[in-house]
Amino acid sequence: MASVNEDFLNLKNDYLFSAITERKNEFEKNNPDKKVISLGIGDVSLPLTKVVIDAMHKATDEMAKKETFRGYGVVQGYEFLIDKILEVEYQKRGVFLEKDEIFIASGSKGDLAGIAEIFSKDNRVALMNPVYPAYRDVNVMLGRDDIVYLNGTEENGFVPEIPSKHVDIIYLCSPNNPTGTVFTRKQLELWVKYAKENNAVIFFDSVYEIFIENENIPHSIYEIEGAKEVAVEFRSFSKLAGFTGVRCSFVVVPKELKLYTEFGEKVDLNSLFRRRQSVKFGAAPYITQRAAEAVYSDEGQKEIRENVKYYKENAKYIKKELEKLGFTVYGGENSPYIWLKIPKNMSSWEFFDKLLNEAGVVGTPGIGFGDAGEGFFRLTAFSSKEETKEAINRISNIFKR
């Protein structure tokens, strides 16, 4: 009798975004003349840049000729891309990694899930709260029920304290989704120290690092001494270069990082992940990897920074205008996310309904990111300048009264 992996039955329904869509659709049905503006989804709106498009056309043409056609790729990724990543993302910041410590793939979702498989079910996991819900779901699917939540609050600036009890795996996301807050060098040093003392591993999700502007904020956890022994880093081209529909990511698995067997022997995460990828992952497409390579040309770097600047201006505008209205606002500075404190004991769903019904603006209720998100609301800077202004105007009209 084919039986189900019962861990999957412990998954909660993916309620948040379907509930948002449902309420939005209902509103649009009842108000056919009102255009709803979404500041809810973390998807980009600017198209791919010229250098990237040119690289894709060129690679496509290579795939059309027998002499330059590329079939199965190297599972780890093409060296032409890995070399660029090593140089631009790491060496320029004084971080030296080896080629075989970088794994190119097709999106951080898959990478976060793939690495987590290699850890025993018995590891105690620490998750920030509020946080990107997929971290929790991946662990639930793997049967890990020992999850410690590290609450982000106004008091700690949404940067949780080191846990008082021992944990084995720690998910850190900086710049953070949804709170928009960032870990300083000092804070990261404490986490790396904790991980070393506890033989724990940090999963460092820094897919929003391109939004960092404050010089004190590390872009990579490997800027912290000793981090290679304890940290895996997840990076993506989705927000870096607008690749949400193209799909390219990479994960850094340093060879210094060891896991333990039940008899206390050390094993190498890097080799196990390589083996895992060779069985379960079919290499990122050639054209995609050429597109990602183009991001690292001088012109490519200039273009993506212009796009990021556009989104950051949106973020700052949202933050400034909401503060004028008397709101307390977090994030929005080294991040595309604005984390808004909801006034007067409203729930985050009530605030959602108010914004939708009175302003025709969609955001994301904080509760969707964990119970510590209640009382807050996430807005994103990824819409167009025009839509962002219009949304903020509409919100102002409600709260100015």
Shortest Cβ 57–a copy of itself spacing (Å):
6
DSSP type of residue 359? I
Q: Does 137 bind a copy of itself (CB under 8 A)?
A: yes
Helices of type H across 176-268 = 185-197, 237-241
Cβ proximity to a copy of itself: between 8 and 96 the closer is 8
Among 85, 86, 173, 201, binds a copy of itself (CB under 8 A): 201
Stretch of 146-154, 197-205, 355-363, 390-398 contacting a copy of itself, by CB under 8 A: 197-205
Question: How many whole angstroms separate alpha carbon 273 and alpha carbon 112?
Answer: 12
Among 70, 255, 385, 389, binds a copy of itself (CB under 8 A): 70
Backbone torsions φ then ψ of 332, nearest 5 degrees: 75, 0
Enumerate residues 6+ apart whose C-beta is below 8 A from 401: none
Q: Does 81 bind a copy of itself (CB under 8 A)?
A: no
Q: Does 57 bind a copy of itself (CB under 8 A)?
A: yes
The alpha carbons of the chain give a radius of gyration, in whole angstroms, of: 22
Q: Does 157 bind a copy of itself (CB under 8 A)?
A: no
For tokens 């056919």, the residue is: 32
> Which residues, 287 to 306, sit near a copy of itself by CB under 8 A?
287-288
User: Which residues face 268 on adjacent strands?
Assistant: 258
Q: Does 165 bind a copy of itself (CB under 8 A)?
A: no
Shortest Cβ 2–a copy of itself spacing (Å):
4
- Residue 351 tokens, joined: 């605030």
Q: Does 48 bind a copy of itself (CB under 8 A)?
A: yes
Among 23, 24, 84, 109, binds a copy of itself (CB under 8 A): 109
- Residue 236-275 contact track with a copy of itself, rule CB under 8 A, x = bound: ------x-xxxx-----------xxxx----x-x--x--x
User: Which residues face 364 on adjacent strands?
Assistant: 378
Shortest Cβ 135–a copy of itself spacing (Å):
10
Cβ proximity to a copy of itself: between 14 and 371 the closer is 14
Q: Does 279 bind a copy of itself (CB under 8 A)?
A: yes
DSSP type of residue 235? E
Shortest Cβ 243–a copy of itself spacing (Å):
9
Question: How many whole angstroms separate alpha carbon 169 and alpha carbon 148?
Answer: 10
For tokens 């193209």, the residue is: 246
Backbone torsions φ then ψ of 259, nearest 5 degrees: -110, 170
Question: How many whole angstroms separate alpha carbon 222 and alpha carbon 235?
Answer: 13
Cβ proximity to a copy of itself: between 268 and 353 the closer is 268
Backbone torsions φ then ψ of 201, nearest 5 degrees: -120, 135
Q: Does 386 bind a copy of itself (CB under 8 A)?
A: no
Shortest Cβ 277–a copy of itself spacing (Å):
9
Cβ proximity to a copy of itself: between 138 and 342 the closer is 138
CB 145 within 8 A of CB 9: no
Q: Is 200 left (phi over 0), alpha (psi -120 to 50) or beta?
A: beta
> Which residues, 317 to 336, sit near a copy of itself by CB under 8 A?
none
Q: Does 138 bind a copy of itself (CB under 8 A)?
A: yes
